[in-house]
Structure 1
Amino acid sequence: MKLTETPILPRFGAEISGIDLRQLLTDEARAAIVDAMNRWGVCVFRDTGLDNAGHIAFSRNLGHLETAPVVKDRPRRHPDHAEIFDASNLTPAGEILVDNNMVLHKKGDRLWHTDSSFMEKRSAYSLLLAYETPAEGGQTFFADMRSAYEDLPDDVRHKVDTMEAEHSLWWSRLLAGFPITEEEVDARPKARQPMAMPQPATGRTAIYIGSHALDVVGLPRKEGLELIEYLIDFATQPQYVFGVTWQPGDLAIWDNLTTMHRGGDFDIFNERRDMRRTTVREGAPPEAADDPFTDYFVKSTAPA
């Protein structure tokens, strides 16, 4: 099967057409999408016509889907579709969110990050579907971590190749202004990840870092944060970055192991932005049902 691929940057990101994502995929169509993902890192499909059920059904072609966490006093927005992660500024009742703590929590998504790097079981693909979009702003921006890795100074690339970083969701939330202390962040779960992520399918390597990262193993925190900040700044130079301007029905798939992304600003208290995400876990499906995101939040809120 031949997809139509329109590059966004010369080596990163493409708009894809020539396929109806609502239809059952053939093995050939699935392989063509995976091949496009390996080549571009981010694939954008316009006006898909997908709903929650179709979004989930299509996503299952790419691997095992995580389920959204069950968090105390915060019901899921889509309880009948546990695989849908809410990426909106809306309450479960569909009203614009005004709770200050939740607003600050979600503000962390506007920092450069890679989804779920704070989890030991990493996310491979994220698939974000637009339902409602603001009149202005609200884009999603992507950074090419493979090309950035290839352009690093040799001494920095050597560090990236040989070092690991510890990641915490709560660190990015602290950076965004959420009311949590550094000591509280340190008491909550972290995941240790390599700073370089080889991609066997292409032979390329990506920097694996983002605003969830708070420590470089073996370095004092201040020195590690300086290296993390340097890498984020380096990888988000204009030649590595593009933004997606959304219309309802648009779907973007990105490879979390080779990209970073962030949400763009918009008038969060007066404009609705309803975005919904499925998340494909890296590697083989689990042998038994599990719920690592709920476990993560339980451990994050458990008394010390």
Structure 2
Amino acid sequence: MTSEFGVEITGVDLTQMSQESMQPFLKRFLLDHQVLLFRDQLLDETQQVRLAQSLGPCRKMWQIDHYVSDNEFVQYLSNVDRQGRFVGSHPDPHSTCWHVDGSHTHVPSKATILNALQVPPNSGHTMFASLYQIYDSLDDETKIQLAKHEAEHHIEFRRARRNGRLPWQWSLAKHRGASLTSQLKWWMSTIKRRWQDGGVFHPIVRHHTETGRPVLFIGDHAWRVRGKFLPLGIKLMQQINSIEIDPLAIYTHHWAKGDLLIWDNTSVLHRAGEYDLHNEARVLRRCVVEGV
């Protein structure tokens, strides 16, 4: 799909393959190519979970209120309800930023599987960037410096920084009275949860657990560099996350109904593209394989 990563696999009906035959086949291709594309694969929930479980145990998924699954390992990313009515909101607005699924956990997710059930014809694409290529593009001195650091991955703090909710971003002109009080309550409760749960830290230069190759393990969940004064550590992580990605390291997938994508979460970043939430239906079924 690019000269460096990604492959389209043809002549395969995933609904007819046994779990035993899938496992070595998928693992080999995933490690070699990072992103796998299968066309014309309209799986049901059970079949998609079985496919995911051939790579490892599945993560229990949070559910979107307007499109709930009874299967705890399945999630629908949809801007319409089950009757096809537009709900007027994005199912996961933060997914439009480059990220790695599950990097905010101690063991990042191994793989993600998306099956396209309904998609716009010319928008709502999904972009992938190879973390191998991003690392390889750095000069030697930058590689040495980044290898000295770890990043804390935390969804709430990262989103708070983007939305201006950290204390040093507060403005009396913007936050007055009850608004400022609610901000303070949110900040205290979030800090309390963070210290109770402990931090999740990953090396910024991380070695893939199976290939051993180094990757620049960045993305939207990485919110600060460990060991730095807080505002400085946040700013430094923002700079690292803003490293320019070579267009040759990016693959943009233009969805068609029945497309099924599997990707290696620990060697690629991904993000969702924009589409008309009020007039274009986009329904993707998602399963995530736990890391080990």
TM-score, normalised by the number of residues in structure 1: 0.79
The CA distance in 2 between the partners of 1:227 and 1:110, in whole Å, is: 22
Deviates more, 1:162-171 or 1:31-40: 162-171
Partner of 1:181: 165
The CA distance in 2 between the partners of 1:277 and 1:235, in whole Å, is: 29
Q: Per chain length, whose mean CA-contact separation is higher, i.e. which structure has more relative contact order (CA < 8 Å, sep 6+)?
A: 2
Check conservation: 1:214, 1:221, Cα contact below 8 A: no
Partner of 2:170: none
CA RMSD in angstroms, aligned pairs only:
2.4
Deviates more, 1:219-228 or 1:13-22: 219-228
Match status 1:32 vs 2:25: yes
For 1:57, which of 41, 50, 58 is the aligned residue?
A: 50
TM-score, normalised by the number of residues in structure 2: 0.82
The CA distance in 1 between the partners of 2:162 and 2:143, in whole Å, is: 28
Label 1:60 to 1:173 Cα distance change in 2 as closer, same or farther (>3 A): same
1:94 to partner: Cα distance: 4.7
**What's the CA shift string for 1:189-224, capped at 9, x where partnerless?**
452222222124333111111111111101234443
For 2:287, which of 275, 278, 282 is the aligned residue?
A: 278
Match status 1:238 vs 2:247: yes
Identity %: 27
Check conservation: 1:118, 1:169, Cα contact below 8 A: yes
Partner of 1:90: 80
Label 1:247 to 1:203 Cα distance change in 2 as closer, same or farther (>3 A): same
Check conservation: 2:154, 2:223, Cα contact below 8 A: yes
1:138 to partner: Cα distance: 0.3
**Which residue type is aligned with residue 41 of structure 1?**
Q
For structure 1, which runs of at least 5 residues remain unmatched after alignment? 1-7, 284-304
Deviates more, 1:22-31 or 1:271-280: 22-31
For structure 2, which runs of at least 5 residues remain unmatched after alignment? 168-185
Label 1:126 to 1:75 Cα distance change in 2 as closer, same or farther (>3 A): same
Number of positions where the alignment pairs a residue of Structure 1 with one of Structure 2:
267
Check conservation: 1:108, 1:172, Cα contact below 8 A: no
**What's the CA shift string for 1:104-145, capped at 9, x where partnerless?**
x72211011111111224211011111110132100000110
**Which residue type is aligned with residue 117 of structure 1?**
S
Q: How does 1:18-167 map to 2 (within 5 A)?
A: 18-25=11-18, 27-69=20-62, 75=65, 77-91=67-81, 94-98=84-88, 103=90, 106-167=92-153
The CA distance in 2 between the partners of 1:37 and 1:121, in whole Å, is: 18
The CA distance in 2 between the partners of 1:26 and 1:272, in whole Å, is: 32
